[in-house]
Chains A and B, each alone.
Chain A
Amino acid sequence: MLTERNYELGKRRYVLGAIAFAIVFVYILRLFSLQLLSDDFRRNADSNAFMRRIQYPARGGISDRNGKLVVYNQPAYDIMVVMKEQEGIDTVDLCNALGITREWYERRMDEIRDRNRNPGYSSYTEQLFMSQLSTEEFSAFQEKLFRFPGFSVQKRSIRQYTMPYAAHVLGDVGEVSPSDIEADSYYRSGDYIGKLGIERFYEKQLRGEKGVEILLRDARGRIKGKYQNGKMDCAPEPGRNLTLSLDMDLQALGERLMKGKKGAIVAIEPATGEVLCMVSSPTYDPRKMVGRQRGVNSVRLYRDPAQPLLNRAIMGLYPPGSTFKTSQGLTFMQEGILSPTKTSYPCSHGFRCGGMKVGCHGHPAPLPLVPSIATSCNGYFCWGLYYMLGNRRKYKTVQDAMTTWKDYMVSMGFGYKLGIDLPGEKRGMIPNADYYDKAYGKDWTGLSVISIAIGQGEVLLTPLQIANLCATIANRGWFITPHVVKHIQDEQLDTLYTARRYTKVHPSYYRYVVEGMRKAVTGGTCRGADTPMYEVCGKTGTAQNPHGRDHSAFMGFAPMDKPRIAVCVYVENGGFGAHFGVPIGALMMEQYINGKLSKASMAKAETFENRHTISISKADDTD
């Protein structure tokens, strides 16, 4: 039977064709936008299918200058969680297995989800749930791990210390903070980073480079092998080992001697600028800052009024007292204000001029430079500064003279950070002309500022800067920026730590200061440091302290002609320099030069260990 040809209905084929065409057209447009316009889906797909398992490198080890291991790594286990996968687990069971409370669990989960605290949060990636389980805790949990989908264990290593010394230099590592993550995309939530000391300063060298292993993961989170058989994987690069310039025996002695006192000891090898010891007291045991007790302990140390976390050696700002006189003598000689052999200044129990008086102890007067250093004559250096600042032939104004003086000080490493390889170094304080202009108006003279000549007044130095002054004198005119790391594995030390820096004083003037410091030991203020074993040079300092007892300071080096050690001892409220500074300094030099203490010295060391200027801090109680 033939159908009649209905022209009108026949046209409907075009309607149906057009519908088919429209569908395909719309779908191709949609494909275009999905596949070609946006890269999101590809990235999404990669994050779906590729599990990037981070391979953590071993952090570099740290040993002292004699090769003694100081810091090493110990395995610890972090519990990680993928939020999307852990839904529906038995939380009570989990809390029991981990020995945590339900509240702790809830709080921790909230912390993980909080994007303010945890900026890199994603519910599909591993987040740190609990850190640093010990091997025993881990093995107990591992048996139950299968019951908790979404939870996994990541092996990490934590820092461990062979000895309880040098906490301030070594510093510590801790979990990265949100700002660390923002500052450096290398870090992810839960990573560790150096927080203090060389752990922080040499973070890049110590941490190494993370590796990554790309695994294929199916929809249920099961690992289905390596992507392209591991061709795209990247092995971790272990961190570099550091060799400290510190001598741990010397450091240990220093910490012993400083027990119960506030203050610092810094010893430098003059020829290299290597810091042989850096003691800041009170101190703490670095082993307290690892593991899960870190949080509690760090809060306690932070709150301790004795400030054990403060590295006084580089952050403590102290008036240098008489140790500063050496720098003054050098400056005046170079400027031609005085002649080392010909010029003597009067001192009648001090400096008296125009109603101004700076007291001094009894000694013969007038004296030239060398005995003035040996006896630590205040008058001599006050007159020196007075004549320098008042010299209108050489300097047009007192401001010009002050500026010249300041430049000398800066050249000796004062007033600015020396640049030691530790974070947090303070620059100290060297006043300049502007400073006094502001304080006194334009109307001031040498007399107004006279106390800076004897290391009082506005002048503030760190113990490191005093030690560096001593090293410069030992070197007769130059120093190398002090540093605590002697050697980095497979890497050159920064040239900052190998280049000599000369002061503005010609080396030839230094011998007078050395001679003065030698005389101070043989017959002056530092007699306590004298020893037949080698020639010691020294200078005491007794810094007046408006808040209490004077600070006791000492700087010295030995042997005189081939100096191996330059040391600065600074004991807060220790009284005269000879009280604490000299004997502690002498013991430090003996220990370093001889490698051990004599019997008599050992007894002396014990005495000083037990002489305290402050009540023992709480941090030490718990040892």
Chain B
Amino acid sequence: MIQTNPGRKDEGILRSLDWFTLFIFVALLGMGWMSVCGASYDFEEGTQLLDFGSRSGMQMIWILTSLLLGTVILCIDERIVESFSYIIYIGFLALLLVTPFLAHDIKGSLSWIKIGTFSIQPAEFAKFGTALCIAKVISSFDLRLEKWRDLVISSVIVLVPMGLIIMQKETGSALVYLAFFFMFYREGMAGSILFSGAAAVFYFVVGIRYADEPLWGIAQIGMGEFLVLAAIHIFSSVMMWVYTPLRGPFVRVLLIGTSIYMFAVLFCKYLFPFDICWVQWTVLAAMVVYLFYLALRDRLLSYAMIAIFAIASTGFFYSVDYVLNEVMQRHQQTRVRVLLGLEDDPRGAGYNVIQAKIAIGSGGLNGKGFLNGTQTKLKYVPEQDTDFIFCTVGEEEGFVGCTLVLVLFLLLILRLIHLAERQPLRFGRIYGYCVLSILMFHVFINVGMVLGLTPVIGIPLPFFSYGGSSLWGFTILLFIFLRIDAARNRMLH
């Protein structure tokens, strides 16, 4: 049927296309549209769902145009797209650069450009440009991400658009670019870097969340500090187990350290309370010295790296306070504090999170039914048809609906991993991992914030949130990969 180039021995796209992914895509679009209907429906006026003046009607237009766009992409030869990678990337960089000057301020964000009656958000489209570019660079120059030099080059390609988006005051959209590090990991970046990142988030969250709570009723010990220092100790021990050959030092560090902590805590509780962090510092210092000794004795750099990890972790933890108070913007500080449960004024910054939880929680097992949700329609949940769209799913479709949506996303991501891994070319695989990493990050943050588990970072839920830019952006991202995948067998002919 659609033969991009009849002269070549190409399979029909209808046969080589991954219908499973397409099916999930359509299913998500369908549920997404129902959610937008639910979120924008007005009880009083009883909106016509397909009236183009309404949000649901507009969303239907975006969905139909997305399908059209997807079809068009499937008709283009993926090699043309690949060859245009750099141009697309540079074009988007230029667009991102000028956006703040063309944009008008929407709630402090300078990321929207008005074209006629529509506004588009270049940041949503820049993701696929970046994904194409990074896939092209890594595959063309055969970069090895195990190597620091190659990792830095790759990182720059990601960090440049990220920086430009931060300049548009769209921190949320910029953070999405961190998703590319999942792909870096797959392509060889050291797992310890990913692990360190996760550890940093852990220190940050636990350190601030429990900063002012006493441990086990002992006023002298701050729970946050104790937990983080103990975690640094345990993480270091685990790294010794993973990265060094000898079991003895690992067992020694783990057992001696934890038994000293337990003894000190019991001493504090029952004999004489004192600030236990001195003990922890001493233990950590002893561990670092021991690790350096092992590094010198066995001539093994890993020990030194672990020691550096422990030192850096401790330094990071004690600078978190500084970061929170000095580096972050005021509203971000509040959001972080609210997320961590440190502020709970229902009409203040925590309002969104609380109302979101109420809306979802009130859905119960089966939900209130299509268009029957009260919380979303009566505008208790802010951004109800964009960032907080998952609330509508929760309220109207209940636990069953939410689980279905999450499982569909999981299936999509697992399917995309499978598709990426079957790519004959590194370009295809990298691009595939970019797509699935971005989707995973969006779902993780968006659903997490609605459930009160991750910070309230304003990024859309793929295929659900109202709006043409994000829907088109995700469609392009996904369909280019489907097109690449459809051509995977070409090389074998």
Contact = CB atoms under 8 A, between A and B. Distances in A.
Interface of A: 1-3, 6, 9-10, 12-13, 15-17, 19-21, 23-24, 26-28, 30-32, 34-36, 38, 40-42, 44-46, 48-50, 84, 216-220, 224-225
B44 interface: yes
9 contacts: A16-B433, A16-B437, A20-B417, A26-B453, A31-B394, A35-B365, A45-B380, A46-B362, A225-B43
A13 B417 contact: yes
B469 to A, nearest CB: 25
Q: Give me the 4 closest cross-chain CB pairs, A-B, nearest first.
A: A41-B361, A45-B362, A49-B374, A3-B426
Nearest to B146: A9
A42 B373 CA distance: 11
B185 interface: yes
A27 B451 contact: yes
B139 A216 contact: no
A45 B399 contact: no
Contacts of B447: 27
A11 B206 CA distance: 31
Interface string B423-461: 011100100010011001001100110010100000000
Contacts of B325: none
Choose among A13, A23, A218 the residue with the greatest number of B CB atoms under 10 Å from its CB.
Answer: A23
A371 B347 CA distance: 87
Contact of A48 (B380, B403, B410, B443): B380
A45 B359 contact: yes
Contacts of A30: 451, 453
Contact of A27 (B365, B406, B433): B406
A77 B394 CA distance: 42
Nearest to B421: A13
B188 interface: yes
Contact of A24 (B407, B424, B491): B407
Choose among B42, B43, B139, B188 the residue with the greatest number of A CB atoms under 10 Å from its CB.
Answer: B43
B380 A16 contact: no
Nearest to A3: B426
A9 B410 contact: no
A16 B402 contact: no
Contacts of B424: 2
B339 to A, nearest CB: 14
B378 A48 contact: yes
Contacts of A17: 413-414, 417
Contacts of B375: 45, 48-49
Given A35-B399, A224-B378, A16 B360 contact: no
Nearest to B346: A84
A8 to B, nearest CB: 9
B409 interface: yes
A21 B412 CA distance: 11
B185 A36 contact: no
A24 B406 contact: yes
Contacts of B444: 23
B114 interface: no
Contacts of A12: 185-186, 191
A49 B374 CA distance: 6
Interface string B106-139: 0000000000000000000000000000000001
Contacts of A10: 421
B58 interface: no
Given A31-B399, A31-B403, A35-B363, A23 B43 contact: no
Contacts of B42: 224
B398 interface: yes
Contacts of A31: 360, 394, 399, 402-403, 406, 451
B163 interface: no
Interface of B: 42-44, 139, 142, 182, 185-188, 191, 347, 355, 357-365, 374-375, 378-380, 394-395, 398-399, 402-403, 406-407, 409-410, 413-414, 417, 420-421, 424-426, 429, 433, 436-437, 440, 443-444, 447-448, 451, 453, 491
Contacts of A41: 357-358, 360-362
A36 B363 CA distance: 9
Contacts of A24: 406-407, 409-410
Contacts of B347: 84
Contacts of B364: 35-36, 42
A34 B451 contact: yes
A207 to B, nearest CB: 31
Nearest to B441: A23
A398 to B, nearest CB: 71
Given A16-B417, A20-B440, A9 B186 contact: yes
Nearest to A2: B424
Contacts of B443: 23
A490 B436 CA distance: 74
Given A1-B425, A16-B433, 16 more contacts: A3-B139, A6-B188, A9-B187, A13-B186, A16-B182, A19-B182, A34-B360, A35-B399, A36-B364, A41-B357, A45-B358, A45-B361, A45-B362, A45-B374, A49-B378, A216-B43
A34 B361 contact: yes
B383 to A, nearest CB: 12
Contact of A20 (B185, B378, B410, B448): B410
Nearest to B443: A23
A49 to B, nearest CB: 4
Contact of A40 (B361, B403, B407): B361
B355 to A, nearest CB: 8
Contact of B361 (A13, A23, A42): A42
A516 to B, nearest CB: 79
A27 B443 CA distance: 10
A225 B187 CA distance: 58
A564 B439 CA distance: 94
B214 to A, nearest CB: 26
Nearest to B406: A24
A157 B301 CA distance: 87
Contacts of A218: 378-380
A209 B378 CA distance: 30
Contacts of B448: 23, 27
Contact of B43 (A1, A13, A27, A224): A224
Contacts of B357: 34, 41
A36 B407 contact: no
A1 B425 CA distance: 6
Contacts of A19: 182, 440
Nearest to A20: B413
Contact of B44 (A28, A40, A42, A224): A224
Nearest to B375: A45
A273 B43 CA distance: 60
Nearest to A47: B358
Contact of B399 (A3, A20, A32, A38): A32
Nearest to B433: A16
A3 to B, nearest CB: 4
A35 B425 CA distance: 45
A44 B425 CA distance: 54
A17 B186 CA distance: 11
Nearest to B379: A219
B466 to A, nearest CB: 18
Nearest to A32: B399
B489 to A, nearest CB: 14
Contacts of B433: 16
B358 A44 contact: yes
A45 to B, nearest CB: 3
B371 to A, nearest CB: 13
Contacts of B374: 45-46, 48-50, 216
Contacts of A36: 364-365, 399
A217 B188 CA distance: 55
A549 B266 CA distance: 83
Contacts of B187: 9
Nearest to B381: A219
Contacts of B359: 45
A28 B400 CA distance: 10
